[in-house]
């Protein structure tokens, strides 16, 4: 089991409005891009994505994402392959991604 602390931060949407961003948003985005790029199909992958989705739903309430090892490995693999390089310009995103990658 892998445990990831969820970080949250504010992002300026426009001059008058800020929105909250988080580690969970990063994971959701990476899962979407990774799934599209790698064309994962089949019942086993469907169950895996369901487990990850349920873990994300729980983490929204608890602030802690708990993943089975193979689910974590999928997310880590997607981050390694599909993270937009421009994310390196945002320290909050970099901190969250590095936290995910350092998880033991």
Q: What is the pLDDT of residue 37?
A: 79
In angstroms, the CA 70 to CA 22 distance is: 22
Q: What is the pLDDT of residue 35?
A: 81
Domain count for the chain: 1
β-pair type (17-22, 8-14): antiparallel
Q: What is the pTM of this model?
A: 0.86
| Per-residue exposure over 4-13, b if at least 16 CB sit within 10 Å of its own CB, e if not | bebbeeeeee
Domain that holds residue 79: 2-102
Per-residue pLDDT of the chain (104 residues; tens, 9 = 90+): 999 999 999 988 888 898 999 999 999 999 998 888 788 889 998 999 999 999 999 999 999 999 999 999 999 999 999 999 999 999 999 999 999 999 98
Q: What is the pLDDT of residue 72?
A: 96
Beta bridge partners of 28: none
């Amino acid at each position: 089991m892998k445990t990831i602390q969820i970080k949250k931060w504010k992002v300026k949407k426009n001059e008058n409005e800020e929105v909250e961003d988080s580690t969970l948003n990063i994971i959701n985005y990476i899962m979407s891009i990774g799934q599209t790029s790698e064309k994962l199909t089949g019942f086993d992958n469907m169950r895996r994505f369901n487990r990850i989705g349920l873990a994300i739903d729980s983490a929204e309430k608890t602030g802690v994402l708990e993943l089975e090892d193979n689910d974590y490995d999928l997310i880590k693999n997607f981050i390694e392959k599909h993270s937009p390089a421009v994310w390196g310009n945002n320290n909050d995103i970099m901190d969250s991604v590095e936290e995910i990658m350092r998880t033991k």
